[in-house]
């Protein structure tokens, strides 16, 4: 067996690096095979110190990164297929991963620069440069901080994000995973001890911090409308009535708000009085119904928005998504290629809103609305008004039965831990959930479930987290 593995490494070095990179992504949701990440990183670092690999570290680092992103982001092809562009699926499977692989390729190349070539030094340098590469991937151009290394851990270890954030945990994670290639027993055991300590501290924090409730009762509605019918005019009434039916069921306790998912109304609701009246009819008395849908701007823009409607049928607040999905919600090369369409329905590109902001409403408190993947950007989920909870409206039906909905949920849990405030997640299809300030999921609706959750909103932590006080906005 060992001879066959060595033969693979010697005769097929690119394939070997691709496989090792792919193994590292099996540590993320929903698989969580963390030992495979340790195997992938440590064997890769061992290989790049061999003469046959070390001469071209950028090339082999690219193949390692390519495998990492092909396996971790394979669901991008599902999103393209959902809109009928099956012939573009290879771009999702291989195109974006090929570009993203440039980041680990550069990290690998830099880790082998310099005079000292000891395995310990290379392991440390690789970890630092991988951390920098992850930060750059999450921040330059439009940014895609998906599957950062720290997201592979269970909830107790994730608690450290309340102090150092997900980027800090990602650095510690790579230092730990690469320590097995350092050839230093002391160094390796030190990092094993660090993560045993992190797990123990996190377990104690979870046990010592019960969830407190605010007494603000709301309802999350998950209609699980198939993406294939969501935007079809002849299915509008059926889909709308499905939402209304779930919203109208009598609650055991008086509600303050009913929450629907992103783009739950695929038309301009405020243009149709009958729609607003119907929505008002299922809004709680003296409360609100919060929906997702497009909104007209004053200069002809179209926003994808969170709309808050009261029981009188008035639009009392709105938030316009400010971090749009390139190619999906707008085409970034519009000036040069005006004839190319975006992937989502509608001929006109969506416009970006003015930025993250807090909505403050009587009976609901202050909350920060986040539309879909806005919640994946650490440090960019709340403004200076110190909201007491976050609302994430999303539609993960784009990704079908893949790992994406589970990864998305794991990512937004960390936003709650970082900020020390609860997060309410409303998914059209995906996983709707009520998450407390420590990332514990109190209630959830699973993929393909049709139903609702009536819940009492968890309270924020009594004191702000160190991360939200000192690092938020500074390193993200």
Would you say the C-alpha torsion 357, 363, 365, 367 has a positive or negative sign? Answer: negative
For residue 154, is it within any domain?
A: yes
Q: What is the pLDDT of residue 328?
A: 72
For residues 38 and 59, membership in a common domain is answered with: yes
| Alpha helices for 332-473 (secondary structure H) | 404-419, 466
For residues 180 and 302, membership in a common domain is answered with: no
Rounded to 5 degrees, what angle do the CA atoms 199, 200, 205 make?
95
Q: Give 329's pLDDT tier (boundaries 50, 70, 90).
A: confident
Distance CA 113, CA 133 (A): 16
H or E, element range at 276: helix 273-282
For residue 387, is it within any domain?
A: yes
Q: How confident is the model over 251-261, as a mean pLDDT?
A: 98
Q: How confident is the model over 322-340, as a mean pLDDT?
A: 69
Tell me if 410 sits within 8 A of 440, measured CB to CB: no
Of 208, 242, 265, the position where a domain reaches its end is 208
For residue 111, is it within any domain?
A: yes
For residues 320 and 398, membership in a common domain is answered with: yes
Q: What is the pLDDT of residue 8?
A: 74
Taking only the tens place, the pLDDT of each residue in 59-68 is 999 999 999 9
Taking only the tens place, the pLDDT of each residue in 69-106 is 999 999 988 877 766 666 677 777 899 999 999 999 99
Q: Give 271's pLDDT tier (boundaries 50, 70, 90).
A: very high
Distance CA 476, CA 462 (A): 24
Neighbours of 97 (CB within 10 A): 22
Distance CA 102, CA 61 (A): 8
For residues 195 and 273, membership in a common domain is answered with: no
For residues 151 and 176, membership in a common domain is answered with: yes
Q: What are the beta bridge partners of residue 426? A: 393
Q: What is the pLDDT of residue 336?
A: 52
For residue 200, is it within any domain?
A: yes
Taking only the tens place, the pLDDT of each residue in 200-232 is 999 999 999 999 999 999 999 999 999 888 888
- Smallest Cα–Cα separation from 145: which of 415, 443, 348? 415
Distance CA 73, CA 94 (A): 9
- Smallest Cα–Cα separation from 64: which of 95, 96, 103? 103
Of 186, 208, 230, the position where a domain reaches its end is 208
Q: What is the pLDDT of residue 345?
A: 58
For residues 274 and 165, membership in a common domain is answered with: no
pLDDT exceeds 80 at position 399: yes
For residues 222 and 202, membership in a common domain is answered with: no
For residue 398, is it within any domain?
A: yes
Taking only the tens place, the pLDDT of each residue in 367-378 is 999 999 999 999
Question: What is the phi-psi region of residue 16: left when phi exceeds 0, alpha when psi lies from -120 to 50, beta otherwise?
Answer: alpha
User: What is the residue-averaged pLDDT of the chain?
Assistant: 92
CATH number at residue 238: 3.60.110.10
Strand pairing of 365-371 and 359-361?
antiparallel
Select the more confidently predicted residue: 350 or 254: 254
Of 208, 239, 271, the position where a domain reaches its end is 208
Tell me if 432 sits within 8 A of 425, measured CB to CB: yes
Q: How confident is the model over 385-397, as a mean pLDDT?
A: 96
For residues 310 and 192, membership in a common domain is answered with: no
Q: How confident is the model over 121-147, as a mean pLDDT?
A: 96
Q: What is the pLDDT of residue 346?
A: 54
Taking only the tens place, the pLDDT of each residue in 277-288 is 999 999 999 999
For residues 165 and 230, membership in a common domain is answered with: no
Q: What is the pLDDT of residue 9?
A: 77
Structural domain range at position 146: 2-208
Tell me if 112 sits within 8 A of 124, measured CB to CB: no
Q: How confident is the model over 135-150, as a mean pLDDT?
A: 96
Catalytic residues: 262, 321, 372
Distance CA 345, CA 220 (A): 25
Q: Give 53's pLDDT tier (boundaries 50, 70, 90).
A: confident
For residues 120 and 230, membership in a common domain is answered with: no
Q: What is the pLDDT of residue 272?
A: 95
Structural domain count, the chain: 2
Q: How far is CA 182 from the centre of its chain?
A: 32
Tell me if 9 sits within 8 A of 47, measured CB to CB: yes
The per-residue b/e assignment along 274-296, b for 16 or more CB within 10 angstroms, e otherwise, is: ebbebbbebbbeebbbbbbbbbe
For residue 247, is it within any domain?
A: yes
Q: What is the pLDDT of residue 13?
A: 92
For residues 179 and 56, membership in a common domain is answered with: yes
For residues 200 and 240, membership in a common domain is answered with: no
Q: What is the pLDDT of residue 141?
A: 87
For residue 476, is it within any domain?
A: no
């Amino acid at each position: 067996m060992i001879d066959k593995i060595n033969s693979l490494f010697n005769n097929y070095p690119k394939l070997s690096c691709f496989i090792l990179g792919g193994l590292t992504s099996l540590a993320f949701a929903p698989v969580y095979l963390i030992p495979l990440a340790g195997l992938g990183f440590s064997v890769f670092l061992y290989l790049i110190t061999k003469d046959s690999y070390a001469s071209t570290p950028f090339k082999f680092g690219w193949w390692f990164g390519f495998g990492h992103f092909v396996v971790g982001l394979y669901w991008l092809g599902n999103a393209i297929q959902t809109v009928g562009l099956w012939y573009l699926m290879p771009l999702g499977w291989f195109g974006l991963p090929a570009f993203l692989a440039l980041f680990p390729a550069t990290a690998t190349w830099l880790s082998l620069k310099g005079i000292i070539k000891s395995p310990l030094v290379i392991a440390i340098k690789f970890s630092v440069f991988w951390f920098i590469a992850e930060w750059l991937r999450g921040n330059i151009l439009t940014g895609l901080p998906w599957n950062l290394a720290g997201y592979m851990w269970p909830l107790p270890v994730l608690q450290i994000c309340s102090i150092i954030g997900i980027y800090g945990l990602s650095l510690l994670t790579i230092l730990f995973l690469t320590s097995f290639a350092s050839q230093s027993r002391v160094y390796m055991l030190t990092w094993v001890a660090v993560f045993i300590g992190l797990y123990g501290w996190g377990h104690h924090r979870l046990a010592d911090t019960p969830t407190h409730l605010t007494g603000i009762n709301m309802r999350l509605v998950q209609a699980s409308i198939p993406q294939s019918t969501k935007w079809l005019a002849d299915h509008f009434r059926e889909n709308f009535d499905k939402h209304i039916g779930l919203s109208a069921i009598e609650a055991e306790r008086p509600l303050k708000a009913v929450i629907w998912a992103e783009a739950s109304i695929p038309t301009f609701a405020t243009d149709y009085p009958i729609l607003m009246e119907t929505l008002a009819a299922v809004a709680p008395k003296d409360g609100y119904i919060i929906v997702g849908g497009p909104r007209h701007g004053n200069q002809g823009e179209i926003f994808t928005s969170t709309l808050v409607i009261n029981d009188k049928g008035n639009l009392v607040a709105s938030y316009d998504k400010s971090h749009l999905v390139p190619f999906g919600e707008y085409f970034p090369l519009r000036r040069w290629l005006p004839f190319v369409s975006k992937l989502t329905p509608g001929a006109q590109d969506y416009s970006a809103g003015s930025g993250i902001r807090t909505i403050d409403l009587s009976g609901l408190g202050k909350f920060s609305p986040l539309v879909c993947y806005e919640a994946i950007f650490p440090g960019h989920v709340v403004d200076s008004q110190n909201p007491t909870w976050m609302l994430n409206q999303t539609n993960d039906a784009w990704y079908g039965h893949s790992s994406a909905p589970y990864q998305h949920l794991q990512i937004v849990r960390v936003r709650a831990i970082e900020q020390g405030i609860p997060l309410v997640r409303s998914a059209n299809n995906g996983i709707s959930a009520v998450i407390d300030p420590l990332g514990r999921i109190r209630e959830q609706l699973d993929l393909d479930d049709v139903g609702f959750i009536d819940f009492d909103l968890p309270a924020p932590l009594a004191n702000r987290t160190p991360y939200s006080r000192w690092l938020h906005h500074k390193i993200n």
